[in-house]
Structure 1
Amino acid sequence: MERVDRCVVLVDAGYLLGAAASLLAGEPARSRITVDHAALIQGLRDLAEADTERPLLRIYWFDGAPDRVPQPEHRRLRVMPRVTVRLGALTRSDGRWAQKGVDAAMHAELTELARNRACSDVVLVTGDGDLLPGLMSAKEHGVAVHLWAVQAADGDYNQSEDLVAEADERRVLDRVWITRSVRAKELTGICAPPPAPRPEIAAILSAPLPESALAASQERAAEAVRNGSQPPASENGAEAGPAPATTKG
């Protein structure tokens, strides 16, 4: 069977979006980012065709979902041209979500594509070393494997070293490329610190109110009289005179 000169992209969505969240928001929670899926798919297609110099056959989007029920983003993705969504299970353990079956599904798809000579080049967007057997199988069937990584937030690798060592080609999707379709959400709510007032506003807010200033002045005058000291000057600068004598009736 003659091999078809086309490229296929296999995306581990948990890796791609989790690494993008770490890069842009400082933590791998996908809830911290918003994704323009149409722009992301188009970006993956354009870059894959440019890197492999082959037309795209299909993009496979592998992700987890509770009970394997498609979420709104999955429903948007699977109606896009040249996109196939494959869902594994998403389970919660020790307060964290974990994918089940995604790696196995990617391995099976990669091996089947290579065995059937459906493509000449495969682009893998993943970091999991569990996919190493599938990568090796694809190479044995004569498929060129391109491994793509998301730029690591700490500047180090966020991929299995074995995958990196065995891939035919490697590319890093940097911050500039990621931010074309992914952005961090703004922090809002009670946890967000209030904006600091401008200096001139702060000075006005810290000044005493007229009523409080008058009360303080009167209190100082009364204290001076009780202590037998000189009474304070009046507001116009003249000293207050003695109190008038009381006449008998």
Structure 2
Amino acid sequence: MSLPKTLAEDVAKNLVMVAKLLDDEPEQAYGYAKVALRLASRVAAVREAAGFAAYGVGKYAEALAEFRAARRMTGSVHLWPLMADCERGLGRPEKALAMAGEPEVQKLDKAGQVEMRLVAAGARRDMGQAEAAVVTLQSPELASHSVQPWTARLRYAYADALLAVGRESEAREWFAKALEADQGGTTDASDRLAELDGVEFLDALDPDAEQEAEQDGEPADPDASDAGEDGNGDR
């Protein structure tokens, strides 16, 4: 609203495209974000969107700079976990872990605090502290039976951390709990469960699937299992 009407509309259209493309076409989203940034670099929402777009394509230094700019403009702390994760992306897990202990974390809402816990656990694993990552994720939010938007990701991260320290049976239990909470399909918990159970899925449309099945000693043709049977169904 601080921009002239025509410019405001141009910036808004670019921001809409960033939001639409960020998950599936991050490179394109990044391109639209750069246009918006060129048009209105003094608007906090533009800097934040540019940060998300840069983060989505792995440009962590750029993302961190944009998130910091947005925070200076608004005074808000909601980007703190993302800023910490950018530090991880830049190979500075110690810095991310230090940020997890800063007063800003106490100002985050519940979702932000859970996100910060996920980042801190990731930083622990980056530093080779797998057992500490497990402990970091243990929290009232993890123990809660209520399903929140962040529940599936938290349970999934805990399952993955358990698996990393060799606690496979517990990991399987928590992957199953993550799947129960994952109504939006934000994790691959079902695939991880199948992997732990030794189940392998073949893509029926994959031309290599038939060859792989035959190499494993299984008939590629569903009717092939009858080829060696007589009329009584005996081999």
TM over 0.5: no
Normalised TM-score (structure 2): 0.28
The structure with the greater share of residues assigned to helix is: 2
Q: Which has the higher strand share?
A: 1
Higher relative contact order (CA 8 A, sep 6+): 1
- CA radius of gyration, larger in: 1
Instruction: Tell me the TM-score normalised to structure 1 length.
Output: 0.27
